[in-house]
C-alpha cells in the first residue's frame, strides 16, 4: 500500500532516537549490520515493487545516492516482507540500483525501526552518530533531503 494519497509527511524529533541495531543480507548475499553505519549518513528506504510511489521515487533515490556516495554516505533499500524476493531481485537488476538492497523477509527490520512502518515508502535519514533525524512517509521532498544530507555530512 502506498502513501501517495496522503502526501509526504516528515517527522523530526527534538531528541533524535538512535537507529536500531539490525542484521540484514543484501541481494548479493553479503551479511551486514547497522553497526557498520557508524560515521556515515544513511538513507534507509522501506519500499515494495507493488508500491507505485516507491517505483516513481526510485530514480530520485538513485540520484541522491549517486550525488552523495562516498565514505561518509550510503543508502539502503529494504524491500518489505510481502514483496516477492524474485520481484525485488528483478527490479534491482533491471533498474541497476546503485545501492544495497535487502529483503525484510520476516518484517523484523521494519519493526525494529518503527512498528508503524507498514506504509511504503517510508524513508529514514540517519546521522553519523546513528540517530534518526528525519522520517518521511511518502515521497520525500528530495531538494530538502539533499540540504539535510549536506548538513549532516559536513557536521
- The pLDDT score that the predictor gives to residue 115 is 80
What is the CATH topology of the domain spanning 10-154?
Glutaredoxin (3.40.30)
Q: How far apart are CA 120 and CA 24, in angstroms?
A: 19
Nearest CA to 136 among 18, 1, 4?
4
Give 45-69 pLDDT, tens digit per residue. 999 999 999 999 999 999 999 999 9
Query: Is the confidence at residue 12, as pLDDT, over 60?
Result: no
Query: Is the confidence at residue 7, as pLDDT, over 80?
Result: no
CA atoms within 13 A on the CB side of 73: 20
State the average pLDDT for the chain. Answer: 91
- Going across the sheet that includes 73-79, the strands are 9-11, 132-137, 122-126, 41-47, 73-79, 100-103
Query: Is the confidence at residue 140, as pLDDT, over 80?
Result: yes
Q: How far apart are CA 143 and CA 128, in angstroms?
A: 20
For the chain, what are the domain ranges?
10-154
Q: How far apart are CA 124 and CA 113, in angstroms?
A: 9
Give 80-116 pLDDT, tens digit per residue. 999 999 999 999 999 999 999 999 999 999 999 988 7
Pairing outcome for strands 132-137 and 31-33: unpaired
Q: How far apart are CA 125 and CA 133, in angstroms?
A: 6
Amino acid at each position: 500500500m502506498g502513501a501517495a494519497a496522503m502526501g509526504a509527511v516528515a517527522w523530526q524529533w527534538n531528541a533524535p532516537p538512535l537507529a536500531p541495531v539490525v542484521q540484514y543480507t543484501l541481494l548479493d548475499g553479503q551479511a551486514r549490520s547497522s553497526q557498520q553505519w557508524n560515521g556515515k549518513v544513511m538513507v534507509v528506504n522501506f519500499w515494495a515493487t507493488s508500491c507505485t510511489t516507491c517505483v516513481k521515487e526510485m530514480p530520485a533515490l538513485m540520484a541522491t545516492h549517486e550525488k552523495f556516495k562516498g565514505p561518509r554516505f550510503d543508502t539502503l533499500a529494504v524491500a518489505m516482507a510481502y514483496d516477492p524476493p524474485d520481484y525485488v531481485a528483478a527490479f534491482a537488476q533491471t533498474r541497476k540500483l546503485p545501492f544495497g538492497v535487502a529483503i525484510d523477509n520476516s518484517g523484523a527490520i521494519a519493526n525494529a525501526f518503527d512498528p508503524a512502518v507498514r506504509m511504503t515508502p517510508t524513508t529514514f535519514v540517519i546521522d553519523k552518530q546513528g540517530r534518526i533525524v528525519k522520517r518521511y512517509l511518502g515521497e520525500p521532498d528530495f531538494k530538502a533531503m539533499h540540504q539535510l544530507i549536506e548538513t549532516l555530512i559536513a557536521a
